[in-house]
Amino acid sequence: MIKLGVIAAQNYPRTITVDYLVVAGGAGGGRYNGGGGGAGGTRCTLNATGGGGSLESAFNLIPNTNYTIEIGAGGAGSTDSIVHPYGYNGNNSIFNTITSTGGGGGGGGFSTTIFAGQSGGSGGGGTQQTGGTAGGSASPSGQGYAGGNANNSPTTQGGGGGGAGAVGASTGSGNGGNGIATSITGSSVSYGGGGGAGGNSATAGSGGTGGGGTGGTTGQPTAGTANTGGGGGGGGADNGGYTNNAGAAGGSGVVILRYSDTKTITIGAGLTGTESAASGGYKRATITAGTGNVSWA
């Protein structure tokens, strides 16, 4: 006689433990002495997570079941001095029930149209205009840090964009806040660096570690690095011409998954991604673009 409890145990699907890094798109930098773009919100189960909080909890997932992934694009840098002088926020990234929030745009403006840094996964830096505006907050909390406030002394400079691991700078050249480092890929890599501020000083704000772009002075700022969630650099003053003062775009987000090397992932239509070879008892899947489903067998 076969006991029903034994049958139930044999038919019950065993779960798969999945660690994850979910990074949202970084924000664009602001225009004209603009603040650096905030990094995309960063949530991770290994080594560190955004905002200095407790590590996220790994998922125990059911085989042959679809789980949603969406990769957030980076926000555009500001090119408009009137309608939208602040950088555009990054877009959210999603894995299953985890949502990382896009970074907040860097503050910017000209004359009487002035915007402070915007809130997001990490906040955008403030713009120097009208004596300096505040950096944006990290909202919701636990995914990154606030942007730096702009300053007039000793240089005319925006504030650095907030990073996943540190606040954007409010002094000096307005450096972007650093990101966080995780070994989810098998080696330590940083993600979620804030964008450096623009201004008219000799030295532009540098981007935070983890893909943050460099701010502009008399030249163009640089964009956040793709698939890091790095914020874009703020636009400079151009010292008279006012033509090279647009902000740069933020970098796109990424989702990285780690699971037992006895399992194989199926990456569904609509997603761009790869699965690594087995190493150290794990495989890793890196999803770099799109919206769709993944499952395991």
Least confident of 156-165, 170-179, 208-217, 235-244: 235-244
At residue 250, the pLDDT reads 98
Residue at 291 is within a domain = no
pLDDT of res. 237: 79
Total domains, the chain? 1
Q: Mean pLDDT for the chain? A: 91
Q: Which residue has the tokens 């307005």?
A: 174
| Cis status of the peptide bond prior to 140, with omega within 30 of 0 | yes
- 17-69: per-residue pLDDT in tens? 999 999 999 999 999 889 999 999 999 999 999 999 999 999 999 999 999 99
- Rounded to an integer, the average pLDDT of 82-108 is 95
Cα-flanking dihedrals φ and ψ of residue 238, to 5°? Answer: 65, 5
Domain membership of residue 192 (yes or no) is yes
Radius of gyration of the chain (CA): 21
Structure tokens at 191: 């993600």
Mean pLDDT of 253-282: 98
Q: What is the pLDDT of residues 181-201, one digit of tens each?
A: 999 999 999 999 999 999 876
Alpha-carbon distance of 270 to 196, in angstroms, equals: 33
Tokens representing residue 84 in the block: 């939208």
User: What is this structure's pTM?
Assistant: 0.93
Amino acid at 182: T
Please indicate, yes or no, if residue 12 is contained in any of the structural domains.
Answer: no
Range of the domain at 93: 22-56+66-260
pLDDT band at 153 (very low <50, low <70, confident <90, very high): low
pLDDT class of 219 with cuts at 50, 70, 90 = confident
For residue 17, being part of any structural domain is answered with no
- E strands, 85-242, are 93-95, 98-100, 108-110, 113-115, 180-182, 189-191
DSSP letter for 65, please.
Answer: -
Determine what percent of the chain is predicted with pLDDT higher than 70. Answer: 90
* Cross-strand partners of 17: 60
The pLDDT of residue 155: 62
Question: Is residue 180 situated within a structural domain?
Answer: yes
The confidence score (pLDDT) of residue 265 equals 98
Per-residue model confidence as pLDDT tens digits over 4-14 = 444 444 445 68
Would 267 be classed as within a structural domain? no
In a domain, 15, yes or no: no
Distance CA 212, CA 201 (A): 19
Q: What is the pLDDT of residues 26-39, one digit of tens each?
A: 999 999 889 999 99
What pLDDT shows up at residue 154?
57
CA distance 136 to 170: 12
Beta partners for residue 283, in sequence order: 259
* Paired tokens of 73: 């694009």
On the question of pLDDT at 2 being above 50, the answer is no
C-alpha to C-alpha distance for 136 and 126, rounded to whole angstroms = 7
Separation between Cα atoms, residue 146 and residue 251, nearest integer Å? 18
1 pLDDT exceeds 60? no
174 within some domain: yes
Averaged over 91-109, what is the pLDDT? 97
Place of tokens 């990285």: 256
